[in-house]
Structure 1
Amino acid sequence: MLQTLPGIALVTGAASGIGRAVATTFVEAGCTNIGLLDVNEKGLEETISKVQNLSSSPLKLHLYMCNVSSPDDIVAAFRKARSDFGRIDYFVNCAGINLMTPPSTEMEVSDFDLQYQINCRGMWLCAREALKIMKDQPLDTNAYPDAQIATFRAQRGSIVNISSVTGQTGLPSSPAYSASKAGIIAFTRCDAVDYVADRIRVNAVVPGMINTPMASKSPEIMKFHEEIVAKKHTPMGRMAEPEEVADLTVFLSSNKASFVTGAAYEVDGGFLNGRLFAQCVGA
């Protein structure tokens, strides 16, 4: 039987939200070797506490303090992860921020730069280090012979980048955030083509409105997301839980998704289709 997660996973933004849910889902799916990256040490420790008792097998967990806007931090974290684990099989880019900037004419250059540095440039810098490691390592069929991975499913690694529906449609007062998330999808598709011959798959997950700390910075913001974005503009009529994004992310990481690369999958409760329908009928 194919064991779908015999390898080592590395997750950025693992201190909260989708990143924490991805780490948890990896463990629940049978992955026992995980590296967690974030700038929030307390949040990382909370994630560790949450996942430690989820596995029936011993877990090998490592924390890496890493600011993804810093190339030096990223290089050091990935170098340490390679030393600790020997290889990286599944890498998930979850780190991100939303500064809730105003429209372009009112937005500060510094706010645009910070948004883009973390969400898009940081994603690229992390993926670049993961790709360097994956390119030089044996196929997982050789690394994990007991997993009985079919030859046609063999991979040197898999990368999943977390984007957003804002990267695929225009929304008010979100030019910097939307641009950074659109850039993630573009990088995903290019890297998928560039590294397919190395047996490395690269995909993106495109969440809609998710119940995370980012969506609930204040009671007013949370109410807007629940009452307007979720109930009014999302056909499913609710926000998603982070675990619903994590489930697809972990599947795409695994050998079960062996023929999937360069894809961008929405997890949005029908939000994008709902907007398209509304535009067509003039709603």
Structure 2
Amino acid sequence: MSAAKVEGKHIVVTGGASGIGAKTTEVLAARGAKVFFGDRNTEAGNALQEKLTASGYTVEFYPLDVTQSDSVSAFYQAAISKFGQIHVALNNAGVDHTPARMLDVPDEDFHRNIAINLTGVWYCMKQSVKHMVEVGGGHIINLASVAGVSGAPTISAYCASKHGVIGLTKSVAIEYARSNIRVNAVCPSFVKTPMVENVLANFDQKQQNTLISANPMKRLGEVEEIAYAIAWLCSDESSFMTGHSMVLDGGMTA
């Protein structure tokens, strides 16, 4: 079976400088998509752009803070100016918080999770939908989490933000289906990314092993596994899917 086809598609990616975002940017570009990606980490973003353009891929990095509506607007205007029509928008930017029971989670951590994980998606979706209505359609993909489909003790703020992303995904999918705009979410469990490594660092070895073996596959996911699933969603092969939350969790929620 051949890889999902994204050749010639114009795709924007937020949080594209590391983790799932970086690998997805690479996979999409390697398959012929033109990728415009943003991140707050300008050093990592510029380094990734240099690496991928040296490989002959069409990518461009633009500094982005998804918590600021003006920054999101500037990012989208730059993407449209560079590549024209946006076919797919991947809202990947996200943040975690130190695992703790609710009463021990600082309010600042809650507000930070909501600002980046949910409000940031809201800002990006408004820009995406506005553009896609004007050009006759498109596809929005939001990075949620397995923590958005079930309870997740000790990461309540993160869990709340990701449940919000899924609710937003479903609502907007219904609202704009007749405008030829599809909206879906991707819900990974623990994947080998810098963010997950930061979470695991808060636990002793026994606790880490428990988290890693929380699914029937008894391992963490690989960034490539999530990126390949996203690439399929970016292709026209997923054309009848909207309002869906694709869970990639090694069977954790089976």
1:137 is aligned to 2:118? no
Q: Structure 1: which amino acid aligns with 2:36? A: G
1:6 is aligned to 2:8? yes
**Alignment partner, residue 23 of structure 1:** 25
Q: 1:83 aligns with which of 81, 84, 93?
A: 81
Flag the 1:218–1:198 CA change in 2: closer, same or farther, 3 A: closer
**Alignment partner, residue 230 of structure 1:** 212
Contact 2:6–2:28 at 8 Å: present in 1 too? no
Structure 1 residue 49: Cα displacement:
3.5
Structural RMSD (CA): 1.9
Report the more deviating stretch, 5-14 or 216-225: 216-225
1:128 is aligned to 2:126? yes
State the SS of the aligned residue for 2:242.
Answer: coil
Structure 1 residue 126: Cα displacement:
0.7
Q: Deviations over 1:77-113 (max 9, x none)?
A: 1111111111111110110000125222222222211
Q: Which has the larger radius of gyration?
A: 1
State the SS of the aligned residue for 1:136.
Answer: helix
Q: Structure 2: which amino acid aligns with 1:36? A: F
Q: Deviations over 1:193-224 (max 9, x none)?
A: 11111111110010011000001127734756
**Alignment partner, residue 103 of structure 2:** 105
Structure 1 residue 171: Cα displacement:
2.1
**Alignment partner, residue 41 of structure 1:** 42
Q: Please give the alpha-carbon distance, in whole angstroms, between the structure 1 residues aligned to 2:55 and 2:253.
A: 34
Where structure 2 has 5 or more consecutive residues not aligned to the other structure, the ranges are: none
State the SS of the aligned residue for 1:131.
Answer: helix
Flag the 1:218–1:92 CA change in 2: closer, same or farther, 3 A: closer
Q: Deviations over 1:114-156 (max 9, x none)?
A: 1100001101111110111111114xxxxxxxxxxxxxxxxx2
Q: Please give the alpha-carbon distance, in whole angstroms, between the structure 2 residues aligned to 1:36 and 1:27.
A: 11
Flag the 1:112–1:227 CA change in 2: closer, same or farther, 3 A: same
State the SS of the aligned residue for 2:12.
Answer: strand
| Percent identity over paired residues | 31
Q: Please give the alpha-carbon distance, in whole angstroms, between the structure 2 residues aligned to 1:81 and 1:26.
A: 16
Q: Please give the alpha-carbon distance, in whole angstroms, between the structure 2 residues aligned to 1:226 and 1:170.
A: 19
Contact 1:215–1:225 at 8 Å: present in 2 too? no
Q: Structure 1: which amino acid aligns with 2:48? A: T
State the SS of the aligned residue for 1:173.
Answer: coil
Q: 1:243 aligns with which of 224, 228, 231?
A: 224
Q: Deviations over 1:242-282 (max 9, x none)?
A: 11111111111111111111110111101112xxxxxxxxx
**Alignment partner, residue 140 of structure 2:** 159
* TM-score (normalised: structure 1): 0.83
Structure 1 residue 3: Cα displacement:
5.5
Q: Structure 1: which amino acid aligns with 2:17? A: A
* TM-score (normalised: structure 2): 0.92
